[in-house]
Amino acid sequence: WQVPVGYNATVLLDLYGRPIGVVGNVRNITERKQAEEVLRRQTEELQRSNAELEQFAYVASHDLREPLRKIQAFSDRLQLTMGSKIDERERDYLERMRGAAERMQTLINDLLAFSRITTRAQPFVQVDLNQVMREVLSDLEVSVEQTGGRVEVGNLPTIEAEPTQMRQVLQNLLSNGLKFHRPEEPPLVRIYSSLLPAPSLNLDGRGALGNEFYQILVQDNGIGFEEQYLDRIFTLFQRLHGREDYEGTGMGLALCRKIVERHAGHITAKSKPGKGSTFIVTLPSRQPAVEVQVA
């Protein structure tokens, strides 16, 4: 029969500094050990559940690709072979089918990207976010031109991160700034950074002590949103606007949050309807020795 105990002791000294005895106490820590064991099992179960969910999302998305490709291929072939033989109503049906297939393809791609954040993660390296931003701007050049928008980029830091995932975060945030603009005003997106003051170090208890933290701010002049929906916008498949108004799968910001949390950081936003939004990404300059597990 064993009982876990905790103890401490203090050495008693005489006037000459010589030890003459010990005073200590011993306490039963059974309840604490039981609580720690419950917490350990729950943590393991959560990690296993997360891994299974991510694997399911990957397999399901991967297996859906092939039948979807066939739908797209046969709809294209049908339109090509039928040509002028179909009337306007039939052509409308065909266009709807192709549009639905394209949306499904986008959703599958987003699901795969989400599942790969941790399952296909690459090592952290030194990443110059200025270079990443240049690549993002190159990718979104057509979107900027189509919307008549303007993008202003300040100096961004070099941090320890995964380059591909940093690119995903910046591209999603910039894409949103261009997409959710007011009809009467071209989008303007500003991207800049700031070094947090010393008291902000060790954000949420994560990261190495003395680590520097940077804020990356993505500010737009778009439609904005009510801040009461702040938590909702970072949740999978959540949309504040109908697909008829703005395209998308509702996964972009959830993807950003998961990536940022994997990098021991934090993402939030400030916004007012009709006044634009500012997304704030806080990231450490160096990653903790043990990689952060995200749900």
57, 181: one domain: no
Segment 134-148 mean pLDDT: 90
Q: Report how far residue 127's alpha carbon sits from residue 124's, in angstroms, rounded to the nearest whole number.
A: 9
99, 177: one domain: no
From 56, 88, 119, give the residue that closes a domain: 119
Measured in degrees and rounded to the nearest 5, phi and psi for residue 106 equal -65, -45
> Does the pLDDT at position 251 exceed 80?
no
Mean pLDDT score of the chain, rounded to an integer?
Answer: 82
* DSSP state letters, 54-106: HHHHHHHHHHHHHHHHHHHHHHHHHHHHHGGGS-HHHHHHHHHHHHHHHHHHH
Residue 153 pLDDT: 95
Flag whether 73 is in a domain.
yes
133, 277: one domain: yes
Q: Report how far residue 143's alpha carbon sits from residue 254's, in angstroms, rounded to the nearest whole number.
A: 22
Q: What is the pLDDT of residues 30-59, one digit of tens each?
A: 888 888 888 888 878 877 776 776 677 666
Of the chain, the end-to-end C-alpha distance in Å amounts to: 39
Confidence band (pLDDT; 50, 70, 90) for 115? low
Flag whether 275 is in a domain.
yes
Read off the CATH number of the domain in which 110 is found. 1.10.287.130
109, 41: one domain: yes
170, 88: one domain: no
130, 94: one domain: no
Flag whether 66 is in a domain.
yes
Segment 96-124 mean pLDDT: 74
Flag whether 293 is in a domain.
no
Residue 206 pLDDT: 47
72, 216: one domain: no
147, 268: one domain: yes
From 54, 88, 119, give the residue that closes a domain: 119
Read off the CATH number of the domain in which 271 is found. 3.30.565.10
pTM greater than 0.85: no
137, 253: one domain: yes
168, 277: one domain: yes
The pLDDT > 70 percentage for the chain reads 81
Q: What is the pLDDT of residues 50-90, one digit of tens each?
A: 677 667 766 666 677 777 888 888 888 888 887 778 888 88
Quote the domain boundaries for residue 98. Answer: 33-119
Calculate helix-pair angle for 88-119, 30-82, nearest 10 degrees.
Answer: 150
From 119, 146, 168, give the residue that closes a domain: 119
Measured in degrees and rounded to the nearest 5, phi and psi for residue 191 equal -125, 120
138, 227: one domain: yes
Flag whether 294 is in a domain.
no
Residue 220 gets the label, from left (phi > 0), alpha (psi -120 to 50) or beta, of: beta
Residue 204 pLDDT: 47
Residue 94 pLDDT: 83
55, 106: one domain: yes
Flag whether 19 is in a domain.
no
Flag whether 28 is in a domain.
no
How many structural domains does the chain have?
Answer: 2
Flag whether 22 is in a domain.
no
